[in-house]
Chains A and B, each alone.
Chain A
Amino acid sequence: MNFTAVASIYRFEMARFFRTVTQSIVSPVLSTSLYFVVFGTAIGSRIQEVEGVSYGAFIVPGLIMLSVMTQATSNASFGIYFPKFIGTIYELLSAPVNFLEITLGYVGAAATKALFIGVIILLTSFFFVDISIAHPFWMMGFLVLTCVSFALLGFIIGIWAGNFEQLQLIPLLIITPLVFLGGSFYSVTMLPPVWQTITMFNPVVYLISGFRWAFLDTADVPVGLSLLAIALFTGACVAAIWWIFRTGWRIRE
């Protein structure tokens, strides 16, 4: 393992993040605050408790997940797409590094950024609602796993994308709907039975449910199933990236 290379990629990517740290932090904090004002305070005050907690507290895990998933995906996809776009990818391809090292560097950095933003949103939410975290260790575990798995997905999107439109396409058309329909703002049990069944095919449901369990100790699906889903998703992404580097698809053609 060329750990020096992994650390170099990681540092280089994090430097990009810290160059624009203000906008990296301000925008998620602002959008989260807006969600709390609109959903938590304005609408939430007219909603009775959901699963034993106030609506404001109920949406905290979903809100964090929403931001973390989109941030991990967009950071990772941009991180690898940008070198492709400006041509600096030649350096990665001609360096003595393998796919695992490149992936660790880029995905690690993207996941760190997403985690950073997730924690900031969590801290922001303390200003708006009373929340208690039932299983802090598992909460961090789910958060980290989500950051990593969606950064892996973003990495694949970044390699696949041939232009900036395509880079935005998947997050916009697939990830955002899946996250919104994944129980960020409601409990799956609130849906009609048919939609409850359909929802079970949405992988994001398992992630949000597991994360919410770590906060509230109640879940839509068993926690074990949530962990299995996230493990499968991560495994599928790693396999796809391994295949991409083995065949040179979209990179070494």
Chain B
Amino acid sequence: MTSIVSVRDLRKAYSSGFEALKGVNLEIEEGEILALLGPNGAGKTTLISTICGITLPTSGTVAVGGHDTQSGYRGARDLIGLVPQEINLEPFETVMNSVRFSRGLFGKPRNDAYIEKILKQLSLFDKKDSKIMALSGGMKRRVLIAKALSHEPRVLFLDEPTAGVDVELRKDMWDVVADLKASGVTIILTTHYIEEAEAIADRVGVISKGEILLIQDKAELMSQMGKKQLVVDLQDVITDVPAKLKSYDLEVGENGMSLIYTYDTKGERTGITTLLNDLQKAGLQMTDMKTQQSSLEDIFVGLVKETA
């Protein structure tokens, strides 16, 4: 895979002196969905704005499809579609005209058939002649996506696309993202909903205080950092881990009615078989058992706390 977006040592300091980006390096591969996770004020939007040309970097370079975003800005921006975080739309214009305007701005000849196709895909077609001010918040967000897609971009940036959006629309958006990926569009989305990254991303980057803490394949990340727990429910109450079982990483659960065993899913032996044997030998009666895996959220919270 070749990288379509290449960010090198990108720094951005605002005139107030605030350093929003502190030397970001990032390679985004063609056709992937990359989720950038981070708390508010981590620098997610600044990173996207700088790649898209809305903010000028203090130092460092960005290349999109091989075009430097400053010296070859036309080539770079031709490839990019941007869905901003805020709902920024001309309220008095109609949906159709607004999307048409976006396409024209990117120098593409008028193509109403294509725009109508996008509007249908986003369930906006019956609103095409409505003024934007008459639309609901979710509809407006769809208009933003339609505008970003109007010029057939190769790379789509979605800055918190589902912030403040209801569950149904969020699922719709995930479907749209999946369709776009299928058509070969590279997608970068920022979010602070971990479930979103978990649901749709191929790779996950964690950004905090202007630095990328980690960027990794989602499945790999979860298996590498994911701890799994086996909870064994007991018939009788115990107050402490029996002496025979001290060699295991065990905790007594709530009410003393269970034992919790934490193990590494990546380890060669999980030790479950021997543990269960030893539990029996220790004379403990088991009533039930279940396993639970840490989510991306736990990983994320752990990472951000570590660096805080």
Interface residues, chain A, with chain B CB atoms under 8 Å away? 2, 4-5, 7-9, 11-12, 15-16, 19, 83, 86-97, 248, 252-253
Contact = CB atoms under 8 A, between A and B. Distances in A.
A4 B56 contact: no
B77 A95 contact: yes
Interface string B101-139: 111111111000000000000000000000000000000
Contact of A97 (B49, B55, B92, B105): B105
Contact of B84 (A90, A95, A96, A248): A90
B97 interface: yes
Interface in B7-38: 14-15
6 contacts: A8-B100, A9-B105, A11-B101, A16-B92, A86-B89, A91-B82
Interface of B: 14-15, 49, 52-56, 73-78, 80, 82, 84, 86, 88-93, 97, 100-109, 147
Contacts of B147: 91
Given A9-B101, A92-B105, 18 more contacts: A2-B74, A5-B104, A5-B107, A8-B104, A12-B101, A15-B97, A16-B92, A86-B89, A88-B89, A90-B49, A90-B88, A91-B105, A93-B54, A94-B77, A95-B105, A96-B75, A96-B76, A96-B107
Contacts of A19: 92
A252 B52 CA distance: 11
A2 to B, nearest CB: 4
Given A7-B104, A8-B104, A96-B78, A252 B92 contact: no
Given A12-B93, A94-B80, A4 B107 contact: yes
A8 B101 contact: yes
B14 A253 contact: yes
Nearest to B81: A94
Contacts of B54: 90, 93-94, 252
Nearest to A97: B105
A86 B101 contact: no
Question: Which of A8, A87, A252 has the most B CB atoms < 10 Å from its CB?
Answer: A8
A90 B92 contact: no
Contacts of B105: 5, 8-9, 91-92, 95, 97
Contacts of B90: 12, 83, 86, 88
A86 B104 contact: no
B78 to A, nearest CB: 5
A1 to B, nearest CB: 9
Contact of B52 (A86, A88, A94): A94
Contacts of A9: 101, 104-105
B90 to A, nearest CB: 6
Nearest to A92: B105
Contacts of B92: 16, 19
A95 B106 contact: yes
Contacts of A97: 105, 107
Given A4-B104, A95-B77, A87 B88 contact: yes
Contacts of A8: 100-101, 103-105
A94 B53 contact: yes
Contacts of B82: 90-91, 94
A253 B15 contact: yes
Nearest to A102: B105
Given A4-B108, A86-B88, A91 B73 contact: no
Contacts of A248: 55-56
A4 B151 CA distance: 12
Nearest to A20: B92
Contacts of B56: 248, 252-253
Contacts of A11: 101, 104
B38 to A, nearest CB: 20
A88 B102 CA distance: 11
A217 B25 CA distance: 67
A234 B76 CA distance: 32
Closest 9 CB pairs of A and B: A8-B104, A87-B88, A96-B74, A96-B77, A94-B52, A2-B107, A95-B105, A93-B54, A4-B107
B110 to A, nearest CB: 8
A252 B55 contact: yes
A92 B97 CA distance: 16
A73 B98 CA distance: 25
Contacts of B80: 94
Contacts of A91: 82, 88, 102, 105, 147
Nearest to A95: B105
Contacts of B104: 4-5, 7-9, 11
A86 B91 contact: yes
A82 B82 CA distance: 20
Contact of A15 (B84, B93, B103): B93
Nearest to A3: B107
Contacts of B84: 87, 90
Nearest to A8: B104
